[in-house]
């Protein structure tokens, strides 16, 4: 299979590889996929509590080159966006940017899922945190 130049670039020089502290209230973690299916993505975001802007994003991916590229691209795209803006990212945009062939579309779907899962995790933490703060006051 021939890979697009952008997939090769992300594979060879992946952006934002690493981990954020998953216990921090500012961090949301998304872990999607399954080893049996050959793809697991972990995408983390660090959100500014005042502005809701995603200030940092990290990923780690077990999967084919297209899966690595999709998640690497996803971290680039979410950085600097608010969580609501990040939720607007569609897998089809990832497909277009990376010129993924039809058999690799599931990689882009997984990347979109990873973004949503990370934001969902972060939102859950905010819901828990707020009443607690009120109670403390």
Partner 1 sequence: MSTDVKTIPQAEHVAPDGVKLPVYMDNHATTPMDPRVLEEMLPYFMEKFGNAASRNHSFGWAGEEGVETARERVAKLVGATTKEIIFTSGATESDNLAIKGVAEMYKEKGNHIITAVTEHKAVLDTCKRLEKYGYRVTYLPVQKDGLVDLEDLKRAMDDKTILVTIMWANNEIGVLQPVAEIGKLCRERGIIFHTDATQAVGKIPVDVNKNNIDVMSISAHKMYGPKGVGALYVRRKNPRVQISAIIDGGGHERGMRSGTLNVPGIVGLGKACAIASEEMAKESCKLAGLRNRLRDKIMGGLDEVYINGSWEHRLPGNLNISFAYVEGESLLMGINDIAVSSGSACTSATLEPSYVLKALGTGDDLAHSSIRFGLGRFNTEAEVDYVADRVVETVSRLRELSPLYEMAKEGVDLKSVKWAAE
To the query of whether residue 37 is one of the catalytic residues in this protein, the response is yes
Interface residues for partner 1 in 12-41 (CB under 8 A)? 12-14, 17-21, 31-41
Considering beta carbons, is residue 37 or 129 the nearer one to partner 1?
Answer: 37
Q: Choose one: 80-88, 92-100, 103-111, 127-135; the region binding partner 1 (CB under 8 A).
A: 103-111
Secondary structure letter of residue 4 according to DSSP: P
Which lies closer to partner 1 via its Cβ, residue 30 or residue 97? 30
Per-residue exposure over 52-80, b if at least 16 CB sit within 10 Å of its own CB, e if not: ebbebbbbbbebbbbbbbbbbbbbebbbe
CB 94 within 8 A of CB 74: yes
The single-letter DSSP state of residue 24 is S
Q: Return the biggest CA–CA distance within the chain.
A: 60
Distance CA 105, CA 98 (A): 10
Supply the minimum distance, in Å, between the C-beta of residue 106 and partner 1. 7
Residues 34-93 that bind partner 1 (CB under 8 A): 34-42, 56, 58, 60-65, 67-68
Which residues sit at the interface with partner 1, rule CB under 8 A?
Answer: 3, 8, 11-14, 17-21, 31-42, 56, 58, 60-65, 67-68, 103, 106, 109-110, 113, 117
Please give the positions annotated as active site.
37, 107
């Amino acid at each position: 299979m021939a890979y697009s130049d952008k997939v090769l670039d992300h594979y060879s020089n992946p952006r934002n590889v690493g981990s954020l502290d998953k216990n921090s209230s500012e961090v949301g973690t998304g872990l999607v996929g399954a080893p049996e299916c050959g793809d697991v993505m972990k995408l983390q975001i660090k959100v500014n509590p005042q502005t809701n802007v995603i200030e940092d994003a990290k990923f780690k991916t077990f999967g084919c080159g297209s899966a690595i590229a999709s998640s690497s691209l996803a971290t680039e795209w979410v950085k600097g966006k608010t969580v609501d803006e990040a939720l607007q990212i569609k897998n089809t945009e990832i497909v277009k940017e990376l010129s993924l062939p039809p058999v690799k579309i599931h990689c882009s779907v997984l990347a979109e899922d990873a973004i949503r899962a990370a934001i969902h995790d972060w939102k859950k933490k905010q819901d828990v945190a707020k009443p607690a703060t009120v109670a403390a006051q």
